[in-house]
Protein backbone atom coordinates (compact mmCIF):
# COMPACT_ATOMS: atom_id res chain seq x y z
CA UNK A 1 0.00 0.00 0.00
CA UNK A 2 1.23 3.47 -0.87
CA UNK A 3 2.01 5.81 2.01
CA UNK A 4 2.96 9.50 1.93
CA UNK A 5 3.95 12.35 4.20
CA UNK A 6 4.91 16.00 3.78
CA UNK A 7 7.13 18.62 5.39
CA UNK A 8 7.19 22.39 5.13
CA UNK A 9 10.54 24.00 4.32
CA UNK A 10 11.65 27.63 4.14
CA UNK A 11 14.13 28.45 1.40
CA UNK A 12 16.34 31.48 2.13
CA UNK A 13 17.46 33.70 -0.75
CA UNK A 14 21.14 34.64 -0.89
CA UNK A 15 20.04 38.09 -2.08
CA UNK A 16 16.64 39.74 -1.96
CA UNK A 17 14.59 38.56 -4.94
CA UNK A 18 12.73 41.52 -6.44
CA UNK A 19 10.05 41.54 -9.12
CA UNK A 20 7.56 44.21 -10.10
CA UNK A 21 5.09 42.41 -7.82
CA UNK A 22 7.05 41.83 -4.62
CA UNK A 23 10.32 41.45 -2.73
CA UNK A 24 11.26 38.10 -1.21
CA UNK A 25 13.82 37.16 1.42
CA UNK A 26 12.46 33.61 1.83
CA UNK A 27 10.19 31.25 -0.07
CA UNK A 28 8.03 28.63 1.59
CA UNK A 29 7.76 25.22 -0.06
CA UNK A 30 6.51 21.72 0.80
CA UNK A 31 8.30 18.41 0.24
CA UNK A 32 6.42 15.13 -0.12
CA UNK A 33 7.74 11.60 0.38
CA UNK A 34 5.99 8.51 -1.02
CA UNK A 35 6.78 4.86 -0.31
CA UNK A 36 5.19 1.42 -0.46
CA UNK A 37 4.85 -0.16 2.96
CA UNK A 38 6.08 -3.47 1.49
CA UNK A 39 9.46 -1.80 0.77
CA UNK A 40 9.73 1.21 3.12
CA UNK A 41 13.46 1.58 2.51
CA UNK A 42 12.76 3.01 -0.98
CA UNK A 43 11.23 6.51 -1.16
CA UNK A 44 10.22 8.84 -3.92
CA UNK A 45 10.51 12.58 -3.29
CA UNK A 46 8.69 15.52 -4.80
CA UNK A 47 8.07 19.20 -4.16
CA UNK A 48 4.63 20.76 -3.83
CA UNK A 49 5.84 24.17 -4.92
CA UNK A 50 3.18 26.58 -3.71
CA UNK A 51 3.93 30.15 -4.79
CA UNK A 52 2.27 32.54 -2.35
CA UNK A 53 0.39 35.31 -4.11
CA UNK A 54 0.57 33.59 -7.50
CA UNK A 55 -0.58 29.97 -7.30
CA UNK A 56 -4.30 29.52 -7.93
CA UNK A 57 -4.52 27.33 -4.80
CA UNK A 58 -2.93 29.85 -2.41
CA UNK A 59 -5.45 29.80 0.44
CA UNK A 60 -5.82 28.87 4.11
CA UNK A 61 -6.81 25.28 3.25
CA UNK A 62 -3.58 24.38 1.46
CA UNK A 63 -1.97 22.32 4.22
CA UNK A 64 -5.25 20.49 4.85
CA UNK A 65 -5.42 19.62 1.14
CA UNK A 66 -1.83 18.42 1.27
CA UNK A 67 -2.60 16.18 4.27
CA UNK A 68 -5.65 14.74 2.50
CA UNK A 69 -3.52 13.96 -0.55
CA UNK A 70 -0.97 12.14 1.61
CA UNK A 71 -3.76 9.98 3.09
CA UNK A 72 -4.67 8.85 -0.45
CA UNK A 73 -1.53 9.22 -2.62
CA UNK A 74 -2.95 6.84 -5.22
CA UNK A 75 -5.51 9.53 -6.17
CA UNK A 76 -4.05 12.36 -8.23
CA UNK A 77 -5.33 15.71 -6.88
CA UNK A 78 -6.59 18.62 -8.96
CA UNK A 79 -4.46 21.14 -7.03
CA UNK A 80 -1.67 22.26 -9.38
CA UNK A 81 1.35 22.44 -7.07
CA UNK A 82 0.36 19.31 -5.12
CA UNK A 83 -0.17 17.40 -8.37
CA UNK A 84 3.30 18.54 -9.49
CA UNK A 85 4.86 17.23 -6.27
CA UNK A 86 2.98 13.94 -6.27
CA UNK A 87 3.68 13.27 -9.96
CA UNK A 88 7.37 13.76 -9.22
CA UNK A 89 7.43 11.59 -6.09
CA UNK A 90 5.55 8.72 -7.74
CA UNK A 91 7.85 8.77 -10.77
CA UNK A 92 10.88 8.76 -8.48
CA UNK A 93 9.44 5.80 -6.54
CA UNK A 94 8.71 3.85 -9.74
CA UNK A 95 12.34 4.31 -10.75
CA UNK A 96 13.74 3.00 -7.48
CA UNK A 97 14.08 6.20 -5.45
CA UNK A 98 17.17 7.30 -7.37
CA UNK A 99 15.91 10.81 -8.24
CA UNK A 100 15.12 9.64 -11.77
CA UNK A 101 11.87 11.12 -13.05
CA UNK A 102 12.43 10.54 -16.77
CA UNK A 103 14.86 8.10 -18.36
CA UNK A 104 16.59 10.21 -21.01
CA UNK A 105 20.15 10.90 -22.25
CA UNK A 106 20.11 13.84 -19.81
CA UNK A 107 19.63 11.58 -16.78
CA UNK A 108 22.39 9.30 -18.05
CA UNK A 109 24.75 12.27 -18.02
CA UNK A 110 25.06 12.18 -21.81
CA UNK A 111 23.34 15.44 -22.71
CA UNK A 112 23.13 18.93 -21.17
CA UNK A 113 20.34 21.49 -21.11
CA UNK A 114 21.21 25.05 -22.16
CA UNK A 115 19.72 27.67 -19.84
CA UNK A 116 19.29 31.43 -19.74
CA UNK A 117 21.05 33.57 -17.15
CA UNK A 118 18.47 35.22 -14.89
CA UNK A 119 19.02 38.85 -13.85
CA UNK A 120 16.89 39.83 -10.86
CA UNK A 121 15.76 43.39 -10.30
CA UNK A 122 17.82 45.74 -8.20
CA UNK A 123 19.14 49.24 -8.53
CA UNK A 124 20.95 50.02 -11.77
CA UNK A 125 24.46 49.35 -10.46
CA UNK A 126 23.42 46.03 -8.88
CA UNK A 127 21.75 44.87 -12.07
CA UNK A 128 24.77 45.88 -14.12
CA UNK A 129 27.04 43.87 -11.79
CA UNK A 130 24.80 40.83 -12.16
CA UNK A 131 24.76 41.20 -15.94
CA UNK A 132 28.55 41.37 -16.04
CA UNK A 133 28.79 38.23 -13.88
CA UNK A 134 26.51 36.25 -16.20
CA UNK A 135 28.33 37.42 -19.31
CA UNK A 136 31.70 36.52 -17.76
CA UNK A 137 30.41 32.98 -17.15
CA UNK A 138 29.68 32.59 -20.84
CA UNK A 139 25.92 32.86 -20.98
CA UNK A 140 24.64 33.32 -24.53
CA UNK A 141 21.09 34.08 -23.39
CA UNK A 142 20.15 36.28 -20.45
CA UNK A 143 16.75 37.24 -19.08
CA UNK A 144 16.24 40.55 -17.29
CA UNK A 145 13.36 41.16 -14.93
CA UNK A 146 12.21 44.71 -15.61
CA UNK A 147 9.59 47.08 -14.28
CA UNK A 148 11.08 47.62 -10.84
CA UNK A 149 13.32 50.62 -11.45
CA UNK A 150 13.12 53.72 -13.61
CA UNK A 151 12.35 52.70 -17.20
CA UNK A 152 15.05 55.00 -18.61
CA UNK A 153 17.64 53.26 -16.45
CA UNK A 154 16.46 49.89 -17.76
CA UNK A 155 16.97 51.16 -21.29
CA UNK A 156 20.49 52.23 -20.32
CA UNK A 157 21.22 48.70 -19.07
CA UNK A 158 20.07 47.25 -22.37
CA UNK A 159 22.24 49.75 -24.23
CA UNK A 160 25.19 48.68 -22.07
CA UNK A 161 24.64 45.05 -23.09
CA UNK A 162 24.13 45.71 -26.79
CA UNK A 163 27.17 47.99 -26.98
CA UNK A 164 29.29 44.87 -26.44
CA UNK A 165 27.16 41.98 -27.62
CA UNK A 166 25.29 41.73 -30.91
CA UNK A 167 21.96 39.86 -31.20
CA UNK A 168 23.89 37.04 -32.89
CA UNK A 169 26.24 36.74 -29.90
CA UNK A 170 23.70 37.18 -27.11
CA UNK A 171 19.96 36.54 -26.89
CA UNK A 172 18.07 39.00 -24.69
CA UNK A 173 14.82 38.05 -22.98
CA UNK A 174 12.77 40.33 -20.74
CA UNK A 175 10.22 39.58 -18.03
CA UNK A 176 7.92 42.43 -17.06
CA UNK A 177 5.79 40.40 -14.59
CA UNK A 178 2.81 42.54 -15.59
CA UNK A 179 4.56 45.84 -14.81
CA UNK A 180 3.23 47.80 -17.80
CA UNK A 181 -0.24 49.28 -18.14
CA UNK A 182 -2.36 48.85 -21.25
CA UNK A 183 -1.90 52.58 -21.83
CA UNK A 184 1.91 52.58 -21.89
CA UNK A 185 2.72 49.01 -22.97
CA UNK A 186 3.02 49.50 -26.73
CA UNK A 187 5.07 52.69 -26.42
CA UNK A 188 7.49 50.94 -24.05
CA UNK A 189 7.65 47.86 -26.23
CA UNK A 190 8.55 50.03 -29.21
CA UNK A 191 11.45 51.62 -27.32
CA UNK A 192 12.63 48.24 -26.04
CA UNK A 193 12.58 46.82 -29.56
CA UNK A 194 15.59 49.00 -30.45
CA UNK A 195 17.72 46.45 -28.58
CA UNK A 196 16.76 43.36 -30.60
CA UNK A 197 14.79 41.62 -27.84
CA UNK A 198 13.98 37.95 -28.33
CA UNK A 199 10.75 38.12 -26.29
CA UNK A 200 9.09 39.74 -23.31
CA UNK A 201 7.05 37.86 -20.73
CA UNK A 202 3.73 39.11 -19.47
CA UNK A 203 3.96 42.85 -20.31
CA UNK A 204 0.62 43.49 -18.56
CA UNK A 205 -1.00 41.60 -15.70
CA UNK A 206 -2.83 38.39 -16.47
CA UNK A 207 -6.60 38.24 -16.76
CA UNK A 208 -6.95 41.01 -19.37
CA UNK A 209 -7.48 38.83 -22.43
CA UNK A 210 -8.78 41.51 -24.78
CA UNK A 211 -5.97 43.93 -23.95
CA UNK A 212 -3.34 41.19 -24.18
CA UNK A 213 -4.69 40.21 -27.59
CA UNK A 214 -4.26 43.79 -28.82
CA UNK A 215 -0.70 43.87 -27.52
CA UNK A 216 0.22 40.52 -29.14
CA UNK A 217 -1.16 41.78 -32.47
CA UNK A 218 0.73 45.09 -32.39
CA UNK A 219 3.91 44.52 -30.38
CA UNK A 220 7.25 44.85 -32.20
CA UNK A 221 8.62 42.32 -29.68
CA UNK A 222 7.30 38.74 -29.49
CA UNK A 223 5.09 38.24 -26.44
CA UNK A 224 5.43 35.26 -24.07
CA UNK A 225 2.58 34.35 -21.75
CA UNK A 226 3.56 33.16 -18.28
CA UNK A 227 1.18 33.97 -15.42
CA UNK A 228 -1.63 33.99 -18.00
CA UNK A 229 -1.58 30.17 -17.98
CA UNK A 230 -2.41 29.84 -14.27
CA UNK A 231 -5.80 28.52 -13.22
CA UNK A 232 -7.03 26.91 -16.45
CA UNK A 233 -8.81 23.61 -15.74
CA UNK A 234 -10.34 22.43 -19.02
CA UNK A 235 -8.68 21.65 -22.34
CA UNK A 236 -11.39 23.69 -24.04
CA UNK A 237 -10.46 26.80 -22.04
CA UNK A 238 -6.79 26.31 -22.91
CA UNK A 239 -7.63 26.20 -26.60
CA UNK A 240 -9.92 29.21 -26.40
CA UNK A 241 -7.27 31.29 -24.65
CA UNK A 242 -4.55 30.45 -27.17
CA UNK A 243 -6.90 31.06 -30.10
CA UNK A 244 -8.00 34.38 -28.64
CA UNK A 245 -4.72 35.93 -27.53
CA UNK A 246 -2.39 34.23 -30.06
CA UNK A 247 0.90 34.82 -28.25
CA UNK A 248 4.21 34.12 -29.94
CA UNK A 249 5.40 32.00 -26.96
CA UNK A 250 4.12 30.37 -23.80
CA UNK A 251 6.24 29.59 -20.75
CA UNK A 252 5.58 26.41 -18.81
CA UNK A 253 5.87 26.35 -15.02
CA UNK A 254 4.43 22.91 -14.21
CA UNK A 255 3.82 23.71 -10.54
CA UNK A 256 1.60 26.64 -11.57
CA UNK A 257 -0.11 25.39 -14.73
CA UNK A 258 -1.51 22.05 -13.57
CA UNK A 259 1.48 19.72 -13.18
CA UNK A 260 3.37 17.84 -15.88
CA UNK A 261 0.36 16.27 -17.55
CA UNK A 262 -1.37 19.61 -18.01
CA UNK A 263 1.88 21.26 -19.11
CA UNK A 264 2.13 18.62 -21.84
CA UNK A 265 -1.37 19.54 -22.99
CA UNK A 266 -0.36 23.21 -23.17
CA UNK A 267 2.64 22.25 -25.30
CA UNK A 268 0.55 20.11 -27.65
CA UNK A 269 -1.98 22.89 -28.18
CA UNK A 270 0.77 25.50 -28.63
CA UNK A 271 2.59 23.43 -31.23
CA UNK A 272 -0.62 22.97 -33.23
CA UNK A 273 -0.72 26.77 -33.51
CA UNK A 274 3.02 27.27 -34.21
CA UNK A 275 3.39 28.95 -30.81
CA UNK A 276 6.86 28.49 -29.33
CA UNK A 277 7.50 27.44 -25.74
CA UNK A 278 10.09 26.80 -23.09
CA UNK A 279 10.01 25.64 -19.48
CA UNK A 280 11.09 27.56 -16.43
CA UNK A 281 11.21 27.26 -12.68
CA UNK A 282 8.65 28.80 -10.33
CA UNK A 283 11.44 29.26 -7.76
CA UNK A 284 11.36 25.63 -6.65
CA UNK A 285 14.14 24.09 -4.62
CA UNK A 286 16.47 21.69 -6.39
CA UNK A 287 13.88 18.93 -5.86
CA UNK A 288 11.36 20.61 -8.14
CA UNK A 289 14.04 21.98 -10.44
CA UNK A 290 15.45 18.49 -10.94
CA UNK A 291 12.01 17.21 -11.88
CA UNK A 292 11.37 19.99 -14.40
CA UNK A 293 14.79 19.54 -15.99
CA UNK A 294 14.26 15.81 -16.43
CA UNK A 295 10.74 16.28 -17.75
CA UNK A 296 11.77 18.89 -20.31
CA UNK A 297 14.68 16.69 -21.40
CA UNK A 298 12.10 14.32 -22.94
CA UNK A 299 11.51 16.98 -25.62
CA UNK A 300 13.69 17.98 -28.55
CA UNK A 301 14.76 21.38 -27.20
CA UNK A 302 15.56 24.20 -29.59
CA UNK A 303 16.10 27.13 -27.22
CA UNK A 304 17.51 27.86 -23.74
CA UNK A 305 15.30 26.86 -20.81
CA UNK A 306 14.67 28.93 -17.67
CA UNK A 307 16.23 26.49 -15.23
CA UNK A 308 19.13 28.39 -13.72
CA UNK A 309 17.57 29.05 -10.31
CA UNK A 310 19.33 26.38 -8.26
CA UNK A 311 21.94 28.78 -6.89
CA UNK A 312 19.44 31.34 -5.56
CA UNK A 313 19.18 29.86 -2.07
CA UNK A 314 21.54 29.61 0.88
CA UNK A 315 19.94 26.37 2.12
CA UNK A 316 18.89 24.54 -1.04
CA UNK A 317 18.63 20.78 -1.06
CA UNK A 318 21.71 19.17 -2.58
CA UNK A 319 20.81 17.42 -5.80
CA UNK A 320 22.14 15.62 -8.88
CA UNK A 321 21.95 18.86 -10.90
CA UNK A 322 25.20 20.64 -11.74
CA UNK A 323 25.30 24.09 -13.33
CA UNK A 324 28.33 24.87 -15.49
CA UNK A 325 28.69 27.91 -17.74
CA UNK A 326 25.33 28.27 -19.50
CA UNK A 327 24.02 24.75 -19.07
CA UNK A 328 22.92 22.26 -16.45
CA UNK A 329 23.82 18.60 -16.38
CA UNK A 330 22.72 15.60 -14.33
CA UNK A 331 25.13 13.59 -12.20
CA UNK A 332 23.73 10.02 -12.29
CA UNK A 333 25.43 8.86 -9.09
CA UNK A 334 24.33 11.82 -6.93
CA UNK A 335 21.32 11.92 -4.59
CA UNK A 336 19.24 14.35 -2.49
CA UNK A 337 21.67 14.28 0.40
CA UNK A 338 19.80 16.31 3.05
CA UNK A 339 16.14 15.46 2.45
CA UNK A 340 16.14 12.61 4.96
CA UNK A 341 16.97 15.03 7.75
CA UNK A 342 14.10 17.31 6.76
CA UNK A 343 11.67 14.37 6.97
CA UNK A 344 12.92 13.46 10.43
CA UNK A 345 11.44 16.73 11.66
CA UNK A 346 7.99 16.76 13.24
CA UNK A 347 5.22 17.31 10.68
CA UNK A 348 3.55 20.70 10.77
User: Sign (positive/negative) of CA torsion 250, 305, 17, 134?
Assistant: negative
What angle is formed at CA 209 by the lines to CA 207 and CA 211, rounded to 5 degrees? Answer: 110
Evaluate if residue 339 carries a pLDDT over 50. Answer: yes
pLDDT at 346: 54
253 is catalytic: yes
Q: What SS3 state is found at 288?
A: helix
Average pLDDT over residues 13-41: 90
Write down the mean pLDDT value for the chain: 94
pLDDT category at 348 given cuts 50, 70, 90 is very low
**Which region among 115-129, 185-199, 283-297 has the lowest average model confidence (pLDDT)?**
115-129
Please tell me the least confidently modeled range out of 27-31, 76-80, 121-125: 121-125
| pLDDT confidence bin for 46, thresholds 50/70/90 | very high
Ranking 87-91, 183-187, 254-258, 344-348 by mean pLDDT, the lowest is 344-348
Report pLDDT for 20.
65
Is-catalytic flag, 145? yes
User: Cα(7)–Cα(125) distance, rounded to whole angstroms?
Assistant: 39
Q: Is the dihedral of CA 107, 116, 283, 260 positive or negative?
A: negative
**74 neighbors 63 (Cβ within 8 angstroms):** no
pLDDT at site 311: 87
Segments in the chain forming alpha helices (H): 62-71, 80-94, 124-136, 151-162, 185-192, 209-218, 235-245, 259-272, 286-296, 339-343
205 Cβ neighbours under 8 A, 6+ residues apart: 178, 227
What pLDDT digit, counting tens, does each position of 197-222 carry? 999 999 999 999 999 999 999 999 99
- Calculate mean pLDDT across residues 110-124: 93
**Nearest residue to 251 via CA among 296, 311, 291:** 296
> CA–CA separation, 96 vs 8, rounded Å?
24
Distance (Å) of CA 335 to CA 12, 92, 95, 107 = 21, 12, 13, 12
Q: How confident is the model at residue 337 (pLDDT cuts 50, 70, 90)?
A: confident
What SS3 class is residue 14?
Answer: strand
C-alpha torsion 88→70→227→296, nearest 10: 10
How far, in Å, are 106, 141, 294 from residue 336 at the CA level? 17, 29, 15
Q: Which domains are assigned to the chain?
A: 2-99+338-343 (3.30.390.10), 113-330 (3.20.20.120)
pLDDT tens per residue, range 230-258: 999 899 999 999 999 999 999 999 999 99
Q: Is the dihedral of CA 10, 62, 335, 326 positive or negative?
A: negative
Q: What's the pLDDT at 290?
A: 97
Q: Which of 145, 211, 272, 348 is catalytic?
A: 145
Amino acid sequence: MLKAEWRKYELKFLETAITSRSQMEVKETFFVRVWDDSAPEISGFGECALFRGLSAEDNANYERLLSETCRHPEIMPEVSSIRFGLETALADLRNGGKQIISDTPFTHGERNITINGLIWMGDKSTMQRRIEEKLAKGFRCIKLKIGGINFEEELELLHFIRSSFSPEALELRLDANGAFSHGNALERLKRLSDFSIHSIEQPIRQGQAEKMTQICESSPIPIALDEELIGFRSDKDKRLMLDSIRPQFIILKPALCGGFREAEKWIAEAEKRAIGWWATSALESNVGLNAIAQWVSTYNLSMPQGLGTGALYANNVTSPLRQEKDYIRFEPTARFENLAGIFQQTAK
